[in-house]
Structure 1
Amino acid sequence: MPYTTKYNKKFDELADEERLLLDDAKKSIADFVENSSTISDVNYATRDAHAKTYAVLKGEFIINKDISDILKDFFDKERYDLTIRLSNAHLKIKKGKKDIPAYGFSVKIKDENDTLLANYPLVNFPLFPVNSVSTFLKLFTSLNRFFIKKWSNLLPLTVQLLKVIPSLFTFSFLKNTIQFISRKNDFILSLDYHSVGAYRLGEHMIKIKLSPKSVKKSFGKNMNPKEAVENYFASYEYVSEVFVQFCYNLKDQPVNKLNVEWKNSPFIKIGEVRIEKNSILDPLDCNNELLSFNPFESKPIFQPVGRIQKLRNEAYKVSLQTRQKINKLLHG
């Protein structure tokens, strides 16, 4: 394997102005979660992104026997236990309407001692439209406030959305947008899932991709995603290949430029995700709704890399703490 670019904490550093904006964003997250039961018309506090849960499942991560020594240093067991959450990216839980086809496949990896190794929130669109930390924080804060205050915050939200438009016009982003639209009606389990941004693999940096095997894109065509997932696992198992790309140089594999694909870095298969049929956990169990997939709860050698990624840590913490406080009160 060629020499890789090594992780450096400088990839994650935020400026003072960005930290102030992050504080403002955290306040908007707490406000959103506190109002989320009203926003989504449910009897519990929701997440401030990927609010709708389609299913929580138990699975396995089976490691390839012939992986390279570099990968064996991190995945030295034959199998690992997984908890998986399938979700929709919308901030609001929509009832009785067609969901936007933006899905989450969040994975919690544990060893045989039930010790958490890594959380990986994966999505079916591989890129992110914003590279600027300041622009993203202002947009996210405006979006949260729009859902709380509605039309009184429409103008600030519109201004921030206009600032994002120039970063959408990369070849990678346009290509993936076309592919996304062409697959908008495909079954949620037939789609590829990706890490948005890079993650550490010790001192290396990687991106992750899940690619399903033998799942028909037309399955559950006349069902909503939740019904389709439940029907699928009543009869079938799910198998997805797990690939990683390594960062060899920042020109071809940029860590802090999330609106372009990595190039000149082959996908290397490291194993498979397997979910047996009838593996869906109780959807009424409050503990499943309280699950956290914060990637910064992972062991340090598996944590996210990058400035936009760095924001997730504080955002996840605020969201989880607020949800736990409210939901534990609601459910005694």
Structure 2
Amino acid sequence: MLHRLWLWFGRWLGKLLLLLLVVGLSAWGIGTAYYSWKFSGPVSSEEQIPPGEAALTQGIIEDAIRVVEQHRDNTRVLRDAHAKAHGCVRAHVTVLSDLDSSLRHGVFSEPGKTWQAWVRLSNGNAYPQFDRARDARGMALKLLDVPGEKLLNSPAHTSEQDFVMFNHPAFFVRDVAEYKSNFAAQAEGKKALAFFPDWDPRNWEIRHLIIALKTLAPAPHSPVATTYNSIAPFKLGPHNIKYRVIPTPESCPGYALPTPNKDLPNFLRSALYQQLSLDRTPACFALQIQRQNPSYYMPIEDPSVEWDESIAPFETVAKIELPAQDFDSREQNLFCDNLSFNPWHSLPEHRPIGGINRLRKAVYGAVRVYRQERNRQSAAK
């Protein structure tokens, strides 16, 4: 009797697993076919601003300030994202001497030119947490003494060109409307509603949830050992492009970082300090661009879509070196905290485009002003 019961249960369980496998494969096939149809070209090579974007942006600014206040330190107001820095370090950015003439625009207009720069390496969360926590990782690059009129009329940033990146090639929202819904849910502590705003499955953002989970990756051994992406598109003269920074250790003296102790809360800062300050070994990267081909599905207004590298390969335009240096001092850490990075600190030749970049223009500026004013008030007490 018991033997027959186990056989029946085994056959039932086998059929159930087979059914689940068939349903899963069918769903995967249907999803692949759907997105292959949905994400097919051609696309516009111009920005397309939806109605109501300005009102949504104002709401996001209010939510961002709420997040800043929720995560403030005892004495300082932190950034609304990428609050924890691993360090701000000096860098040299050298344009390729043989750069293709079609890419010689803005800060890349003079082959062989070397720019002095600051690089800020960070975690993505709005609240400082242990480095071993799954998180986005960011790189912000600020070129100094860049002549020419900038897009923002800000006296403090008239000679700067900024590039802002993080370590995933796609963003987890498609536009400002979705960002408003997603960010509001997170600001209210309702993270489950960020991708499932209601009970209607048609409004669920499962693909974007998968992107977010991939973005929240385990920490690398060092902040100089991962790739950073612009995600959103930009101009490069007449071209629409995305850019990224990739490690090129072969361009620097050979170096093997000691195995980090990932139980330490700040092991990424320690790894950076070990390489640049103790072992006096530089870190090297390549700055690359990817040109939009509007005949294929490479949209400007949807940064959740990764541009196909097999159709539009990345091209190196400059080399970045972080030389050996001392950077982990109280004075420099405070300087780092006060540095402001914004992709709109930019020459017109590098103008940010697309909805997420239009959102950044408003939100970054408003949060920076609020944060720095609150910190000045705290310092004066």
Give the aligned partner of residue 51 of structure 1.
Answer: 83
Contact in 2 for aligned 1:6/1:203 (Cα 8 Å): no
Secondary structure, aligned partner of 1:305: coil
Deviation at 1:304, TM superposition (A): 1.4
Give the aligned partner of residue 272 of structure 2.
Answer: 229
Query: What is the CA–CA distance in structure 2 between the aligned matches of 1:87 and 1:80, rounded to whole Å?
Result: 22
Deviation at 1:313, TM superposition (A): 1.1
Question: Of 313, 324, 327, which residue of structure 2 is paired with 1:266?
Answer: 313
Larger radius of gyration: 2
Secondary structure, aligned partner of 1:59: strand
Query: What is the CA–CA distance in structure 1 between the aligned matches of 2:90 and 2:258, rounded to whole Å?
Result: 21
Describe the superposition over 1:302-330 as per-residue Cα deviations: whole angstroms up to 9, x where unpaired.
Answer: 12111122111111012101111011122
Task: Return the TM-score normalized by structure 2.
Answer: 0.73
Q: 1:250 to 1:169 in 2, by over 3 A?
A: farther
Give the aligned partner of residue 15 of structure 1.
Answer: 51
Give the aligned partner of residue 15 of structure 2.
Answer: none
Describe the superposition over 1:234-268 as per-residue Cα deviations: whole angstroms up to 9, x where unpaired.
Answer: 12101101111111215342222322321211211
Write out aligned runs for 1:37-76 (5 A).
37=72, 41-74=73-106, 75-76=108-109
Deviation at 1:271, TM superposition (A): 1.4
- In the alignment of these two chains, the number of paired residues is 307
| Stretch deviating more after TM superposition (212-221 or 299-308) | 212-221
Contact in 2 for aligned 1:193/1:211 (Cα 8 Å): yes
Deviation at 1:219, TM superposition (A): 4.6
Q: 1:185 to 1:67 in 2, by over 3 A?
A: closer
Deviation at 1:140, TM superposition (A): 0.9
Give the aligned partner of residue 346 of structure 2.
Answer: 298
Q: 1:329 to 1:164 in 2, by over 3 A?
A: farther
Secondary structure, aligned partner of 2:276: helix
Deviation at 1:126, TM superposition (A): 1.3
Give the aligned partner of residue 139 of structure 2.
Answer: 105
Contact in 1 for aligned 2:290/2:312 (Cα 8 Å): yes
Query: What is the CA–CA distance in structure 2 between the aligned matches of 1:288 and 1:120, rounded to whole Å?
Result: 16
Give the aligned partner of residue 128 of structure 2.
Answer: 93
Q: Say if 2:195 is the partner of 1:161.
A: yes
Secondary structure, aligned partner of 2:118: strand
Query: What is the CA–CA distance in structure 1 between the aligned matches of 2:258 and 2:350, rounded to whole Å?
Result: 34
Q: Say if 2:281 is the partner of 1:248.
A: no
Unaligned segments of structure 2, at least 5 residues:
1-42, 148-156, 197-202
Pairwise CA RMSD of aligned residues? Answer: 2.8
Which amino acid in structure 2 is aligned with residue 54 of structure 1?
A: H
Give the aligned partner of residue 188 of structure 2.
Answer: 145
| Stretch deviating more after TM superposition (219-228 or 76-85) | 219-228
Calculate percent identity across the aligned residue pairs.
20
Describe the superposition over 1:271-311 as per-residue Cα deviations: whole angstroms up to 9, x where unpaired.
Answer: 10111111526444433212111111212221211112211
Which amino acid in structure 1 is aligned with residue 51 of structure 2?
A: A
Secondary structure, aligned partner of 2:319: strand
Contact in 1 for aligned 2:118/2:143 (Cα 8 Å): yes
Unaligned segments of structure 1, at least 5 residues:
147-153
Which amino acid in structure 2 is aligned with residue 21 of structure 1?
A: L
Q: 1:184 to 1:73 in 2, by over 3 A?
A: closer
Q: 1:311 to 1:73 in 2, by over 3 A?
A: closer
- Greater share of strand residues, 1 or 2? 1
Contact in 2 for aligned 1:245/1:265 (Cα 8 Å): yes
Q: Say if 2:240 is the partner of 1:197.
A: no
Contact in 1 for aligned 2:221/2:268 (Cα 8 Å): no
Give the aligned partner of residue 331 of structure 1.
Answer: 379
Secondary structure, aligned partner of 2:205: helix
Query: What is the CA–CA distance in structure 1 between the aligned matches of 2:131 and 2:313, rounded to whole Å?
Result: 39
Q: 1:302 to 1:253 in 2, by over 3 A?
A: same
Question: Of 171, 177, 183, which residue of structure 2 is paired with 1:128?
Answer: 171
Describe the superposition over 1:119-155 as per-residue Cα deviations: whole angstroms up to 9, x where unpaired.
Answer: 1111111111211321211111221232xxxxxxx3x
Q: 1:15 to 1:62 in 2, by over 3 A?
A: same
Q: 1:291 to 1:317 in 2, by over 3 A?
A: same
Deviation at 1:198, TM superposition (A): 0.6
Q: 1:252 to 1:76 in 2, by over 3 A?
A: same
Contact in 2 for aligned 1:49/1:89 (Cα 8 Å): yes
Contact in 1 for aligned 2:173/2:303 (Cα 8 Å): yes
Contact in 1 for aligned 2:132/2:219 (Cα 8 Å): no
Runs of 4+ in 1 over 4 A off after TM superposition: 112-115, 215-220
Query: What is the CA–CA distance in structure 1 between the aligned matches of 2:188 and 2:63, rounded to whole Å?
Result: 7
Which amino acid in structure 1 is aligned with residue 341 of structure 2?
A: F
Write out aligned runs for 1:168-183 (5 A).
168=208, 177=214
Query: What is the CA–CA distance in structure 1 between the aligned matches of 2:195 and 2:188, rounded to whole Å?
Result: 14
Which amino acid in structure 1 is aligned with residue 305 of structure 2?
A: V
Which amino acid in structure 2 is aligned with residue 34 of structure 1?
A: E
Task: Return the TM-score normalized by structure 1.
Answer: 0.82
Query: What is the CA–CA distance in structure 2 between the aligned matches of 1:67 and 1:115, rounded to whole Å?
Result: 26
Query: What is the CA–CA distance in structure 2 between the aligned matches of 1:117 and 1:125, rounded to whole Å?
Result: 25
Contact in 1 for aligned 2:257/2:275 (Cα 8 Å): no
